[in-house]
Amino acid sequence: GKQAGFDAVPVSGVENASYYYSTYIGEDKVGVSKKKKVMILGGGPNRIGQGIEFDYTCVHAAFALRDENYESIMVNCNPETVSTDYDTSDKLYFEPLTVEDVLTIYEKEKPEGVIVQFGGQTPLNIARELQDNGVDILGTTPESIRFAEDRERFREKVISLNMLQPESGTARSLEEAVEIANRIGYPLIVRPSFVLGGRGMEIVYDQEMLRKYAQEAIKVSPEYPMLIDRFLENAIETEVDALCDGNDTFVAAVMEHIELAERGIPVRL
């Protein structure tokens, strides 16, 4: 089939700075360096559950690579982000975050690997397929990503570790959801698997609300079960952000939500 070529579009008013775009109707005019390099997949379009915090982490990943003398290659398609500024990365491919487009750039640039975990849900969704096509995924493996995002598997892991969690269950149909709700009792917090940032998550107070939610949850994540938890009213909610390399763990932040979850978006300290 046809092979994509790439062309450079100069940055207005800036010398020796360009963005790179692919085309199937022209020759490839973009050279590659022999430097050691790493690709970063950005977050793509902004939407609910896909916010600016992912762009922030992509930008700082590019800065960190530069400090380690790696050529940073950013792949993103959102012009309203800092990661697509000409001076954030050493090379910017303004391309859709699809398996086909990422593979084309990967085969052209031949980086040491690709970082997917900073771009939010969009790159996470294609990590496994990229790996299956020979891409070296750096950092968190696609299997670990899948484990963390599969609510049912994660719940089972918590149980096996004898850790406390609200009474819960997983449902693949409306009938199963109603059965679990009758066992646990209302109010409930219900959510689909494989989403970030609260997309598709809701607090339900009765069976009518649950029925309405179940229809939407199936649309958001039809292949995977919805997780149903007992909602802890008037509880104190805290978060811990940590980094781990498999041996050492660094706790970067401990945050407490200062507004009750059912009243809106929490403010973090």
CA 4 from chain center: how many Å?
Answer: 27
Q: How many domains does the chain have?
A: 3
Domain that holds residue 109: 5-147
* Nearest by Cα to 235 from 202, 214, 262, 201: 262
The mean pLDDT values, 10 residues at a time, for the chain of 269 residues are 78 79 84 95 79 88 96 93 90 94 95 94 92 95 86 84 90 88 93 65 90 74 77 87 90 86 44
In this structure, the answer to whether residues 176 and 255 fall within a common structural domain is no
- Provide the pLDDT for residue 100: 94
Last-in-domain residue among 86, 114, 147: 147
- 193 located within any domain: yes
Over the stretch 119-161, which tens digit does the pLDDT of each residue have?
988 899 899 999 999 999 999 899 988 888 777 788 888 889 9
In this structure, the answer to whether residues 30 and 57 fall within a common structural domain is yes
- 158 located within any domain: no
pTM, to two decimals: 0.77
CA 107 from chain center: how many Å?
Answer: 23
In this structure, the answer to whether residues 102 and 191 fall within a common structural domain is no
- 159 located within any domain: no
CATH code where residue 31 lies: 3.40.50.20
- Provide the pLDDT for residue 223: 66
